[in-house]
């Protein structure tokens, strides 16, 4: 006979213990980020001990519970306490993750609170992986405060969110996402449905809502900015800042956004792999990488760290994802290294995250950042590699290297989403190989239209 009162009591005690631990962890992160705020106010703070301690902690966990890292650390003589030989570890990439997923995944996964994340991959190589709670939300709040955020300010997002058809029929191209602005905003406007004949509805709603901070895709916000400027629309309320993320913005787009919304522009750099949080705070757009989020390295093609002023690949180690730790993970993005200042990695410029578009039969452009990278298709888990080719307006060809679990359902999911958003005609072509560029790089979109 079960003692239900005892079981309920144990569950209650467990809930309160977990709640206490979460609150304690949140307090620590907020305290750490206050130090980062002081750093930006001119205080000389040494972040090396913090960064080293967090790196040591994730390495220790990985060694104990991830077979892949246990064998790797032993082979290369890595000391998780002193970090000796850490820089000799081979780099992690998507191919290794796909081929050794079981060994990379924590043996304690069943005891962890986690969710499944996936990414379309800017090189056409999708990836699916488990993620445990992290500190992205606290870092977003930190950046908003750097912009001047105060309690009660409204934050909105501009991304690739899917909006139900019943709302779109009413010329509503956004959804309510939260009752709290921190960390990702109370409302998401969707770039998927932005067209010349409906852009005014977006603008009118923004003006009615009067948000204090905007965050989202540069290409999307720039289109709104151009419309505001061309139609001489006055933004009469104060916008404290605009956070641009997920893409690299051109100087022209930045100028349009600043002029239309009469505010400062900030950039944020991160990944679904939750291993780096980079941000800018002024008009020179130099990126600072939080020492409390992960370790960022800028490496050359030989795996050596570049010097100040040199370009290298961004390689990251996340401090929080215990479900599948990303240690020395190749992001595929390039950056100009600008020094390691007291443990804060600084990047003069980030290269990558280009703005790619396909064109509908009405010659309307649709951003792949929204259509692909902003939508987490379940099909990603069953695709080894894919590439989109467009040679005719309103039509695309999708070349796919299928995984063993790829089915007709995956094809239907892609076809349905693309059709619902932009109505393009799709031809699926299944192949065993997708060619690289002459420089040996994968290209997700081959755009043959004269645009």
Q: Kindly list the distances between the CA atom of residue 263 and the CA atoms of 1, 235, 258, 279, 407, in Å, as whole numbers in the listed order.
A: 66, 10, 5, 17, 48
Segment 119-167, tens digit of pLDDT: 765 556 778 899 999 999 999 999 999 999 999 999 999 998 989 999 9
Contacts 24+ apart (CB under 8 A), 138-142: 138/26, 138/29, 138/30, 138/33, 138/183, 139/33, 139/277, 139/279, 139/290, 139/292, 139/293, 140/182, 140/183, 140/184, 140/268, 141/182, 141/183, 142/33, 142/36, 142/37
Count of C-beta atoms within a 10 Å radius of residue 26? 13
pLDDT higher than 70, residue 292: yes
Note whether 158 and 191 are within 8 A (CB): yes
For position 239, what pLDDT does the model report? 98
Cα 271 from Cα 269, distance rounded (Å): 7
Span of 304-313, 354-363, 420-429 with lowest mean pLDDT = 354-363
Task: Tell me phi and psi for residue 138, to 5 degrees.
Answer: -65, -35
Cα 51 from Cα 59, distance rounded (Å): 12
Q: Residue 445: which H helix or E strand, with range?
A: strand 445-447
Segment 361-407, tens digit of pLDDT: 888 888 777 677 656 678 887 887 888 999 999 999 999 988 888 99
For position 373, what pLDDT does the model report? 63
> Which residues are CB-neighbours of 228 under 8 A, at least 6 positions away?
203, 235, 260, 261
**Confidence band of 246 (pLDDT split at 50, 70, 90):** confident
Tell me the β-bridge partners of 387: 399
For position 247, what pLDDT does the model report? 80
For position 436, what pLDDT does the model report? 64
For position 3, what pLDDT does the model report? 55
The predicted model gives 409-415 an average pLDDT of 92
Note whether 273 and 316 are within 8 A (CB): yes
| Percentage of residues in the chain having pLDDT higher than 70 | 90
Domains of the chain plus CATH, in order, are: 357-447 (3.30.300)
Q: What is the DSSP letter of 307?
A: P
Segment 90-119, tens digit of pLDDT: 999 988 998 999 999 999 999 999 999 877
The predicted model gives 341-365 an average pLDDT of 85
For position 124, what pLDDT does the model report? 61
């Amino acid at each position: 006979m079960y003692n239900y009162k005892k079981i309920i009591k144990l569950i209650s005690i467990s809930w309160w213990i977990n709640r206490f631990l979460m609150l304690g962890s949140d307090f620590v992160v907020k305290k750490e980020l206050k130090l980062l705020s002081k750093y930006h106010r001119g205080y000389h703070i040494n972040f090396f001990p913090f960064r080293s301690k967090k790196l040591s902690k994730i390495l220790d966990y990985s060694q104990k519970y991830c077979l892949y890292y246990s064998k790797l650390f032993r082979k290369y003589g890595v000391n998780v306490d002193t970090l000796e030989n850490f820089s000799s570890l081979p780099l992690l990439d998507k191919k290794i993750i796909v081929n050794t997923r079981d060994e990379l995944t924590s043996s304690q996964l069943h005891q962890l609170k986690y969710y499944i994340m996936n990414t379309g991959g800017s090189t056409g190589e999708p990836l699916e992986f488990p993620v445990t709670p992290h500190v992205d939300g606290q870092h977003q709040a930190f950046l908003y405060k750097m912009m001047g955020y105060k309690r009660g300010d409204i934050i909105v997002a501009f991304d690739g969110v899917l909006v139900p058809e019943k709302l779109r029929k009413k010329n509503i191209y956004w959804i309510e996402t939260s009752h709290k602005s921190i960390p990702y905003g109370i409302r998401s406007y969707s770039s998927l449905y932005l067209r010349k004949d409906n852009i005014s509805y977006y603008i009118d709603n923004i003006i009615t809502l009067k948000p204090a901070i905007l965050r989202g895709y540069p290409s999307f916000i720039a289109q709104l900015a151009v419309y505001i400027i061309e139609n001489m629309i006055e933004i009469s309320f104060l916008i404290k800042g605009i956070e641009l993320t997920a893409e690299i913005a051109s100087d022209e787009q930045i100028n349009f956004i600043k002029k239309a919304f009469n505010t400062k522009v900030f950039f944020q750099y991160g990944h679904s792999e939750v291993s780096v949080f980079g941000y800018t705070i002024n008009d020179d757009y130099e990126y600072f990488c939080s020492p409390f989020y992960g370790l960022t390295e800028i490496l050359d093609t030989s795996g050596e760290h570049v010097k100040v002023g040199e370009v290298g690949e961004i390689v990251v180690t996340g401090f929080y994802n215990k479900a599948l730790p990303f240690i020395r993970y190749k992001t595929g993005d390039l950056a100009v290294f600008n020094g390691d200042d007291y443990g804060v990695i600084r990047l003069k410029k980030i290269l990558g995250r280009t703005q790619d578009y396909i064109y509908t039969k009405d010659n309307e452009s649709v951003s792949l950042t929204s259509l692909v990278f902003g939508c987490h298709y379940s099909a990603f888990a069953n695709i080894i590699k894919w590439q989109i080719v467009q040679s005719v307006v309103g039509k695309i060809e999708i070349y796919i290297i299928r995984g063993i679990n790829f089915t007709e359902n995956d094809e239907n999911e892609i076809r349905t989403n693309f059709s619902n958003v932009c109505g393009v005609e799709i031809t699926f072509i299944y192949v065993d190989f997708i060619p690289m560029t002459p420089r040996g790089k994968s290209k997700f979109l081959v755009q043959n239209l004269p645009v």
